[in-house]
Structure 1
Amino acid sequence: MKILIAEDEEFSRDLLRAQLESLGHDVVAVSSGSQAWGTMQQERFSMVITDWMMPDVDGLELVRRIRTHPETGYVYIILLTGKSERTDLITGMLRGADDFLSKPYDRDELDVRIRAGERVINLERSLKAKNEELARSNQEIERASQRMKRNLDAAARIQKSLLPRDLPQNHAVDFAWIFRPCDELAGDIFNVFQLDHDNIGFYLLDVVGHGLPAALLSVTLSRFISPSTSSSGQFPNVASDTAFLSPSKVASALNEQFPMDGIGQQYFTLLYGCLNVCTREMQYVAAGHPGPVVIPANDAPRIVQVEGYPIGLVDQPEYSDRHLSLAPGDRVMLYSDGVLDCQNPDGEHFGEDRLIAAVSERRESLNEDVQSLNNQLVGWCGGRTPDDDISLLAMQLLDD
């Protein structure tokens, strides 16, 4: 171990140096505190043994300089002193000394003190190495976290790109929506598309769970259902006596195509429908999904209660089509259960009654009312991130 001695008495300095070298240490000896401090600017030492009383820079001042200059690294300091008063020892410890060696001392006591200091130094070095390793690991984790964040952000942008963009080109129906994932990625997704000249298709689905697994399935389902991206040949155009599958047949086909397996344990709820813009007849199926909110132009809104198994939960469930006759000005809203289950800071759910009250207040446009509902949900959450994805797809039949 490399040791620096600061001792102004030549005999004591030479004796201490000889004793330390006989114990196998690499020793540098100087005659003053200022010389010791200058030497420490040039070389690194594991231990300093300094006399307390020296001219110019004494032992206490040398200790202070070492402790207030972190570039010296950790140095174990032993004060040589003839002082034995308790207050003197406390003063030295407060300044930063690690140990004391009272004059006169013998070689065995010196050896014991040095060995004790060496154990502390080794522990300090081990701790420093582990801290440096931990810092490197934390840097790697941070870099990995940033990469993951960038990937998740990119995936979220891709997922949002699957939301309605190219709306059906007609002047019979208006659309608006809310999409608020509880994580970077959502298990909810919805879309609107043209089935044929007179019919518009739409759906909103909610994959059980959150995060990446739910989002992956929701994106897969979106591409499977939407006619512009479907490669299966099943959705929505089929070679039959009708131009497209009925909602109940869509649900049955999805249930067959996406059964819940024993690994992912994933299933999803779905509300799928089609609207004939000429007859204003809406046909839909609900597979374990909350029923739609129907908001007549001249009557009170209501939630249509429906039953049905979620997609993939059981084999060959029976799905049936439901029908709604709509009029100009009527609205229909599809939503995920995250709307009703949205909680305030007291743990109270938003619920059906508040949803009905919110959609009863009609303004100039559908978009304004949907944004007003979104603001109410944000306020209800108290600024917190919701515990579940919040999705809503609204449509309004326009006047001829």
Structure 2
Amino acid sequence: METLQAEPTNRSELSLLVVDDSRAQRRMLSVLLGRWGYRVTEAASGEEALDACAREKFDIILSDWMMDGISGLEFCNRLRRMAGDTYSYFILLTSKSEKAEIADGLEAGADDFLTKPVAPGELRARLRAGERIIGMQAELLEKNRLLGSTLTELQRVHDALDRDLLQARAVQQTFMRERRASVPGGDVSILFQSSGHVGGDLVGWFRINTNSVILYSIDVSGHGVASAMLSARLAGLLSGAAPERNAAIVMSSHARRETWAPEDVAQRFNRLILDELKVDQYMTMVYVQIDLLTGKGRLVQAGHPHPVILRRDGGFDRLGQGGLPVGLLEEASFTGENFVLLPGDRLFLMTDGITECPDPAGEELGEDGLLAMLTRHRAMPSGRLLEALVWDLAKYLGSDEFPDDVSGLIFDYNGI
């Protein structure tokens, strides 16, 4: 193999391989190409050319078709099968002019043809066409490299965000306290399943004093981090572990815990969201206060699904009058409603991720569908009933990936 270094030119040099079993033909082409500014390498056979291509990348290849051993056509075919993301512009030198033969050359991977004897003007024009192709390919490779680098960085950021969201989900789960808990006169069972890493639903309870318990179900508008952050703020404001920061608790002069009426709590949260937090989200809620001695309760419903009492005799009572969401309108007002639980009754609070769960055709479950599910499972203990409800919802949806957060709370009133 012989290499001829080209004279320097103002044009960027390209590497070019000349393949011909005629030494005179190789030298003639090499001298001409060198004058034009190409860095030229010679190969005396197809086998030698393949070895050269295995060691070095050539921008353009000029190869005779008819050679002893591996023909130019076979050399081209083997070159195209060699691994790598680079491309060499391949010109076959031939005396063949039949259409079928030219078609064979194109099928083998050749880009262009030149008829022998080669005319310098035509050769230079074909080389310039090849340079344009090589330039476009180099530009495409660089863009692909940049795209790959960008995708890698995006994946890294996504993975980091995914880890953060998983941690956030674990923290959010702690807001729900125990999924099963008992208070004098009753038991609490909680269901919470977010539709993504984090959710905007919040369900829970806290004691005011020995004889009173608060239950709540909240659904912050939207999905994702913003909704979860507001949900976390609300969890802190309804924490039984920190009564001094609880927005619903009032400490009397005798250090006895009292609470605002449910409708007043809704009004306070309405002002908090609009005047202090000033966020784009609003929320729906049901907030309930129950006297554990008497079973008497009072609730406020603010744009939330109706609470349901599963009566011990097998009936159902739907509570609430609808009402406006919290944090949507400054002039919104909220109305409380009284009810009574008898020993053996169960109060069920839920978010609209249950009642608005769609089937594959888009038909929502609705309150009637929910009551049918509750009827089917009402003989179960409350914890198992909630689990069965999730299974039924997944079956109704046709998937266990819910489009909205699914949460609920059942309070079993046992009486004292």
The reply to whether TM is greater than 0.5 is yes
Which deviates further from its counterpart, 270-279 or 37-46? 37-46
* Structure 1 counterpart of 2:86, one-letter code: G
- CA drift at 1:306: 1.4
Alignment partner of 1:73: what SS?
coil
Q: Distance in 1 between matches of 2:284 and 2:153?
A: 39
The offset of 1:71, in angstroms, is 3.4
Choose 197-206 or 258-267, whichever is displaced more: 258-267
In structure 2, C-alpha distance between the alignment counterparts of 1:318 and 1:84, rounded to whole Å: 91
Within the candidate set 387, 403, 414, 1:371 is matched to 387
Alignment partners' CA distance in 2, 1:198 and 1:94 = 89
Q: Which amino acid aligns with 2:81?
A: T
Corresponding residue number in structure 2 for 1:239? 252
Q: How many residues align?
A: 400
- Bigger CA drift: 264-273 or 122-131? 264-273
CA distance in 2, matches of 1:338, 1:20: 74
Shift of 1:262: 11
Distance (whole Å) between structure 2 residues aligned to residue 295 and residue 68 of structure 1? 73
> Match for residue 75 of structure 1?
88
Partner of 1:41, secondary structure, is helix
How far the C-alpha of 1:231 sits from its partner, in A, is: 5.7
Equivalent residue in structure 2 for 1:209, among 178, 202, 222: 222
Q: 1:136 aligns with which of 149, 170, 174?
A: 149
Distance 1:313 1:180 in 2: 25
CA offset at residue 288 of structure 1? Answer: 2.0
Deviation at 1:384, TM superposition (A): 5.4
Query: Is 1:330–2:345 an aligned residue pair?
Result: yes
Match of 2:250, SS state, is coil
Matched residues, percent identical? 30
- Separation in 1, partners of 2:326, 2:77: 73
With 82-91 and 375-384 compared, the bigger mean Cα shift is at 375-384
Q: Greater shift after overlay, 110-119 or 9-18?
A: 9-18
Counterpart of 1:309 in structure 2 is 324
Give yes or no for contact 2:20–2:45 (8 Å, CA) kept in 1.
yes
2:28 to 12, 15, 21: 15
Gaps of 5+ in 2: 1-13
Is 2:47 aligned against 1:34?
yes
Q: Distance in 2 between matches of 1:383 and 1:168?
A: 30
Q: Structure 1 199/230 Cα, relative in aligned 2: closer, same or farther at 3 Å?
A: closer
1:198-248, CA deviations, whole angstroms, 9 ceiling, x for partnerless residues?
Answer: 111111111111111111111111111223246646432333686222212
Matched residue, 2:271: 256
Match of residue 391 from structure 1: 407
1:314 and 1:38, CA in 2 relative to 1: closer, same or farther beyond 3 A? closer
Rounded to whole Å, the distance in 1 between the matches of 2:380 and 2:161 is 43
Q: Which amino acid aligns with 1:222?
A: A
Q: Are the equivalent residues in 2 in contact too, given 1:333–1:394 (CA < 8 A)?
A: yes
The aligned residue for residue 293 of structure 2 is: 278
Measured at CA, do residues 230 and 130 of structure 1 come closer, stay the same or move farther in structure 2, by a change above 3 Å?
A: farther
Residue number in structure 2 paired with 1:347 = 362
When residues 345 and 260 of structure 1 are mapped into structure 2, their CA distance, relative to the original with a 3 A threshold, is farther
Matched AA of 1:218 = S
Using the alignment, how far apart are the partners of 2:329 and 2:102 within structure 1? Answer: 80
User: Aligned partners of 1:154 and 1:260: how far apart in 2?
Assistant: 30
State the partner residue of 2:8. Answer: none
- Say yes or no: does 1:161 pair with 2:177: no
Cα 1:122–1:166 change in 2 (3 A) is closer
Listed as ranges, the gaps of 5+ residues in structure 1 are none
The alignment yields a C-alpha RMSD, in angstroms, of 2.1
- For residues 273-320 of structure 1, the C-alpha deviation after alignment (integer angstroms, 9 at most, x for no partner) is 122211111221112222210111014113224132221222254333
Post-superposition Cα deviations, 1:307-340, rounded to whole Å, max 9, x if no partner, equal 3222122225433332211111101101112211
In structure 2, the residue matched to 1:97 is 110
SS at match of 1:163: coil
Distance 2:242 2:415 in 1: 32
Q: If the length of structure 2 is used for normalisation, what is the TM-score?
A: 0.91
Contact 1:294–1:330 (CA under 8 A) maintained in structure 2 = yes
Shift in alpha-carbon separation, 1:355–1:364, aligned structure 2, 3 A:
closer
Q: Secondary structure at the match of 1:311?
A: coil
Partner of 1:48: 61
Per-residue CA shift, 1:91-148, capped at 9, x if unaligned? 0110111111110121101100110111101111111111111111111111111111
Cα distance between partner residues in 1 of 2:240 and 2:384? 29
Question: Which residue number corresponds to residue 358 of structure 1?
Answer: 373
Do the aligned partners of residues 33 and 234 (structure 1) sit closer, same or farther apart at CA in structure 2, a change above 3 Å counting?
A: closer
Q: Equivalent residue of 1:49, what SS?
A: strand
SS of the counterpart of 1:359? helix
Q: Which residue of 1 aligns with 2:73?
A: 60
Deviations, residues 354-379 of structure 1 (Å, cap 9, x unaligned): 11122223224112222222211111
Letter of the aligned partner of 1:272 in structure 2?
Answer: Y
Q: Secondary structure at the match of 1:125?
A: helix
